[in-house]
Structure 1
Amino acid sequence: MCLAVPGKVLKIDNYKGVVEIGNMKREVFMHLIPDIKVGQYVLVHAGCAIETIDEEEAAKTLEIIKELSENEIC
């Protein structure tokens, strides 16, 4: 199963950028979304931003992921 995680674009430098996901910052490749802007939200999968997403949808998705991790049974 594959999962893309939403994050906010903080910095862009050519085809790499820094994305904030929750309280973590990650460097990701931005080449699949050449017209992306700082402040927008993207879905990140396997180290690549693959799609833009609006802020409301990003917040909903992060909340669902948080709930799932809190209810995980090991």
Structure 2
Amino acid sequence: MCLAVPGKVISLSQDELGWRQGKVSFGGVIKLVSLAYVPAVKVGDYVIVHAGFALSILEPQAAEETLEYLNQLTQMEKKNGNNQSY
């Protein structure tokens, strides 16, 4: 199963072909993501990312709620002896 997760845009740039890209933080893990599908994105916005592409911009409250649910799921899994991170 694939899961698109929210991340926070921390910087914007362009690749060698001129496509927009940015560094996105996923709980402190920084990934370089294509921003081709979200031309209006700004630093500080939350985006949903799947397979290296930001697919949409999220409202901050929705992103924070989703991240909290994922954190709760991780804590429940650890409590049950599964150390997998989501």
The 5 Å alignment of 1:7-46 reads 7-14=7-14, 15-46=20-51
What amino acid maps onto 1:19 in structure 2?
A: V
RMSD (Å), alpha carbons: 1.2
Are 2:56 and 1:57 equivalent residues in the alignment?
no
Shift of 1:12: 0.8
- Note the residue ranges of structure 2 that are not aligned, 5 or more in a row: 15-19
Aligned residues between the structures? 74
**Percent of residue pairs bearing the same amino acid type:** 41
- Note the residue ranges of structure 1 that are not aligned, 5 or more in a row: none
- Name segments (4+ residues, structure 1) moved above 3 Å: none
**Normalising by structure 1, what TM-score?**
0.88
Per-residue deviation, residues 16-40 of structure 1 (Å, max 9, x unmatched): 1001111211111111111211111
The equivalent residue for 2:17 is none
**Normalising by structure 2, what TM-score?**
0.77
Are 2:55 and 1:47 equivalent residues in the alignment?
no
Bigger RCO (CA 8 Å, 6+ sep): 1
